[in-house]
Amino acid sequence: MMNRRTLIKAMAAAGVATPLVSSLTGCATAAKAQANPATAGKPRVVVIGGGFGGATAAKYLKRFDNNIDVTLVEKKETYMTCPGSNWYLAGLIEGEKITQNYDTLKNKHGVRVIHDTVTGISAGNKEVMLAGGSVLGYDKLIVSPGIDFKYEEIEGYSAEVAEKIPHAYQAGPQTELLYKQIRDMKQGGTFVIAPPGNPFRCPPGPYERISMVAEYFKKNNPTAKIVCLDQKNKFSKAGLFKEGWKKLYPGMIEVIPAIDGGKVTKIDANSMMVYSDYENIKADVMNIIPNQKAGKLAFDAGLTDASGWCPVNQETFESKIHPSVYVIGDAAIAGKMPKSGHSASSQAKMCAAGIVSSIHNTAMPRPKNTNTCYSLVSGDYGISVVAVYEMKDGTIQGVKGAGGVSDTGADAAYRKMEANYARGWYTSIAADIWQS
């Protein structure tokens, strides 16, 4: 078991320990009797979801206190990351390079990994129910289920239609299907993309996708057109994206904002028609990304509020609805932090530190959180946005003067350097979470 000094050192190494200012109550030592003598008496933390949030939390709980019995439940045996999936669509990276597994978490960190689907949570009994029939007891539960989609807001769209018209906003089979459709598209065809409304996973994601599809078309289908029907008037890094598109893909990309009727109201997957107030367009490939809400499990477990996301104490990530249940990542309402893999991982470290502090009855570290979002406009052209966050008046807010976006008007060497940083970001965060 770690003493207070070594615990704080470990948290500092993970970037989560700064001045200790508040203390948590609620100790997890009242563990239920365990059938397994090896874990009897140990505090038990169950983590649901092995994506950016959950996998980071499982690893860092063990790093901060190896005595905690940590179980990670993830339905998939391998996890294709959304970061890098746009690069994959362009043919800039192989799919296996962005597919992670749980071997290191199991074999190096001692996390018990169960591949099964969570069908329910009993917050009253502190139990998690699995599709395979097992029931897991917990002292603390971390939930990082990601997102789900509001298909019903677009006439003609549904989860079934998305099997044919992929949103590719959860990487995996959807990404593979879109990859194939882009390659099968006729010469000079029209690719129609509709980004979601706020808030949504990865604000620059749809616009990086436009860039990566354009990168592919430039080399393989140079007379193709990309039409972006947007229900918003502004988007992340818009000036930088548009500068890059003008330079690299002149005449290929047209963006119709909300003010010009860009919101898609209806699609027809058979005739491939996309309907909006702007005009009705016949698409050859459609990439309609629906508006979003917290992952289904968060709804089933009663962790969401009227917004469709999960209200949490933004310092500890403990649910405001169910005590001892913590929600991190895209599903959580995390103040000004965007819904990104970087944010989810940063929140997971904070949440793990808070839980370990509460188990040890030590004060909660008060960290600064960060987010970095790199986007590729082409393989040699990268842009970025960085922000630093802190708790202020009970919510996570941006630190004024910290962070920023790439310069507009930068030269080719600068853009190439940022493209290399983008690849470096992926390599290091994947290594941190799944590989080391």
Ligand X SMILES: Cc1cc2nc3c(=O)[nH]c(=O)nc-3n(C[C@H](O)[C@H](O)[C@H](O)COP(=O)(O)OP(=O)(O)OC[C@H]3O[C@@H](n4cnc5c(N)ncnc54)[C@H](O)[C@@H]3O)c2cc1C
Binding region for ligand X (CB under 6 A) = 48-54, 73-76, 79, 82-83, 85-86, 117-118, 144-146, 169, 201-202, 205, 209, 295, 297, 329-331, 339-342, 344, 373-374
Separation CA 316–CA 351 (nearest Å): 5
Q: Which is nearer to ligand X, 49 or 244 (CB)?
A: 49
What is the nearest approach in angstroms of ligand X to the Cβ of residue 126?
A: 17
Take residue 91 and report the two structure tokens written for it: 């043919």
Separation CA 272–CA 161 (nearest Å): 12
Q: Which is nearer to ligand X, 146 or 257 (CB)?
A: 146
Buried b (16+ CB within 10 A) or exposed e, 373-410: bbbbbbbbbbbbbebebbbeeeebebeeeebeebeeee
What is the nearest approach in angstroms of ligand X to the Cβ of residue 275?
A: 24
Provide the β-strand partners of residue 69: 44
Q: Which is nearer to ligand X, 68 or 334 (CB)?
A: 334
Take residue 190 and report the two structure tokens written for it: 């029209």
Separation CA 109–CA 435 (nearest Å): 11
Whether residue 14 contacts residue 368, with contact meaning beta carbons closer than 8 Å, is answered with no
CB burial of residue 219 (10 Å; 0-12, 13-18, 19+):
exposed
**DSSP element (H, E) containing 245:** helix 238-248
Q: Which is nearer to ligand X, 8 or 162 (CB)?
A: 162
Q: Which is nearer to ligand X, 157 or 275 (CB)?
A: 157
What is the nearest approach in angstroms of ligand X to the Cβ of residue 111?
A: 14
Whether residue 344 contacts residue 330, with contact meaning beta carbons closer than 8 Å, is answered with yes
What is the nearest approach in angstroms of ligand X to the Cβ of residue 119?
A: 7
3-class state of residue 144 by DSSP:
coil
What is the nearest approach in angstroms of ligand X to the Cβ of residue 99?
A: 12
CB atoms within 10 A of CB 35: 7
What is the nearest approach in angstroms of ligand X to the Cβ of residue 22?
A: 25
Q: Which is nearer to ligand X, 71 or 362 (CB)?
A: 71
361: left (phi over 0), alpha (psi -120 to 50) or beta: left
Q: Which is nearer to ligand X, 77 or 279 (CB)?
A: 77
Q: Which is nearer to ligand X, 50 or 156 (CB)?
A: 50
Q: Which is nearer to ligand X, 132 or 239 (CB)?
A: 132
What is the nearest approach in angstroms of ligand X to the Cβ of residue 335?
A: 15
Take residue 431 and report the two structure tokens written for it: 């290594």
Angle made by CA atoms 170, 172, 176, in degrees to the nearest 5: 115
Separation CA 20–CA 362 (nearest Å): 9
Separation CA 245–CA 243 (nearest Å): 6
What is the nearest approach in angstroms of ligand X to the Cβ of residue 386?
A: 11
Q: Which is nearer to ligand X, 48 or 351 (CB)?
A: 48
What is the nearest approach in angstroms of ligand X to the Cβ of residue 233?
A: 22
* Residues 333, 335, 340, 343, CA torsion sign: negative
What is the nearest approach in angstroms of ligand X to the Cβ of residue 117?
A: 4
Q: Which is nearer to ligand X, 51 or 262 (CB)?
A: 51
C-alpha distances out from residue 403 to 323, 388, 399, Å: 34, 6, 8
Q: Whose structure tokens read 């009993």?
A: 122
3-class state of residue 324 by DSSP:
coil
What is the nearest approach in angstroms of ligand X to the Cβ of residue 192?
A: 17
CB burial of residue 172 (10 Å; 0-12, 13-18, 19+):
middle
